[in-house]
Amino acid sequence: MGMTMTQKILAAHAGLESVKAGQLISAKLDIVLGNDITTPVAVNEFKKAGFDTVFNKDKIAIVLDHFVPNKDIKAAEQSKQCREFALAHSVSHFYDVGKMGIEHALLPEQGVVTAGDCIIGADSHTCTYGALGAFSTGVGSTDMAAGMATGTAWFKVPSAIRFELKGKLPEHCSGKDVILTIIGMIGVDGALYRSMEFSGEGVATLSMDDRLCICNMAIEAGAKNGIFPVDEVTKQYMEGRCERTPVIYEADEDAEYERTIEIDLGAIVPTVACPHLPENTHPAEGLGDIKIDQVVIGSCTNGRMEDMEAAYNILKDKKIADNVRCIIIPGTMQILRECVQRGYVTAFIDAGAVVSTPTCGPCLGGYMGILAAGERCIATTNRNFVGRMGHVESEVYLASPATAAASALTGYITDPRRNS
């Protein structure tokens, strides 16, 4: 029996000719990632276990992004611990204020991750890098500590679900609408500990930003990872960017999948996940009576350049509705700079929005937009659990940048096609 893309990558990194679903393996790692919340815990475990050196200073990435610039004393102490560890071990990929970005937007942009890699990160949305044809998954801080010390991690090889994409997305629809639609179909545990493998002629119509968004939210369906094939779009994105030579794996024709789900991209509509689960999805056009208090456009899911462009195209020369707070957070310093150069920042401010330096901030209820009791936010983030962005009696609605921006103008959840 043949292997899926994920299984081929895991077999190669385990030094095995083949692997099968359910098999336990130990695999060599190309990147071990942590952030300002998870790295301090990993550092404590690293020291507790008696480790005094990292396996490879060039294969560890520490990104200060959740509470940076620091929001309080605890955040400052966590960042200080990360800085001291990175300095002591000469960690090459350490990103602090001025250089940092939201980790899952930053690492692909900087070429730290590439096709064929085996990557772990002490953050659940590490599955983002499957968009480049890598195996990438979130782990706990203890696994991060072991990975930093040994350069290996153990895995149970996942079985796979194939998503066969056909057609092309309509105007005002993006990768966020695709993944919300899929999660609405299969549920938040529909791909539990499975690999979500995307294929079909429709893949070629999706941009890299679309693919990064889709893989980012694979975890919201319970998946171990999401992964796209490496095609011309991927190669063009990686060219001159990646620090390691990409290794391209393809699924075998006789690879075994638990099931295949066909997705007609042409039938996708602007979609919103209502409280309090990402699977509670509905077309945006049917939610126009839901009044909102806040809009957040950013995060590791939708803080990339195409997301900023989508927001700009809707907000330019218009005004955000009275009594609506609109917070826009470019994912990296490079994206922020380009927003400035293109005039997006001026347009956002003229519309009545505020623009932040890169941070996860409000996504996890950290800062830069906490909700009070009874408030509603439409956000381009990835989770809308109870209390996710503040008070337990607040509500979060997940949507694309286009839908979020259109809603900012009306004060109600709004289908962005109304603006065309």
Could you tell me which residues are beta bridge partners of residue 297?
328
* pLDDT number for residue 418: 79
pTM score, whole prediction? 0.95
| SS3 of 3-68 | CCHHHHHHHHHHCCCCCCCCCEEEEECCEEEEECCHHHHHHHHHHHCCCCCCCCHHHEEEECCCCC
Placement of tokens 């638990």 in the chain = 258
Task: Tell whether omega for the bond before 104 is within 30 degrees of 0, i.e. cis.
Answer: no
What is d(CA 233, CA 158) in angstroms, rounded to the nearest whole number?
A: 26
* pLDDT number for residue 152: 97
| SS3 of 274-299 | CCCCCCCEEEHHHCCCCECCEEEECH
Which residues of the chain, if any, have pLDDT below 50? none
* pLDDT number for residue 409: 97
What is the DSSP secondary structure assignment for residue 113, as one 8-state letter? S
* pLDDT number for residue 194: 96
> Which amino acid is located at 6 in the chain?
T
Task: With CA atoms as reference, report the closest residue to 165 among 204, 199, 209.
Answer: 199
What is d(CA 137, CA 36) in angstroms, rounded to the nearest whole number?
A: 18
Domains annotated for the chain, with CATH where assigned, are: 5-264 (3.30.499.10), 271-419 (3.30.499.10)
* pLDDT number for residue 231: 96
What is the DSSP secondary structure assignment for residue 371, as one 8-state letter? B
Dump pLDDT digits (tens) for 159-190. 999 999 999 999 999 999 999 999 999 999 99
> Which amino acid is located at 35 in the chain?
N
Sequence-ordered alpha helix ranges (H) in 324-382: 333-342, 344-351
Sequence-ordered alpha helix ranges (H) in 187-315: 208-216, 232-238, 299-302, 305-315
Contact 375, 391 (CB under 8 A): yes
Sign of CA dihedral 206, 384, 413, 315: negative
Length of the chain: 420
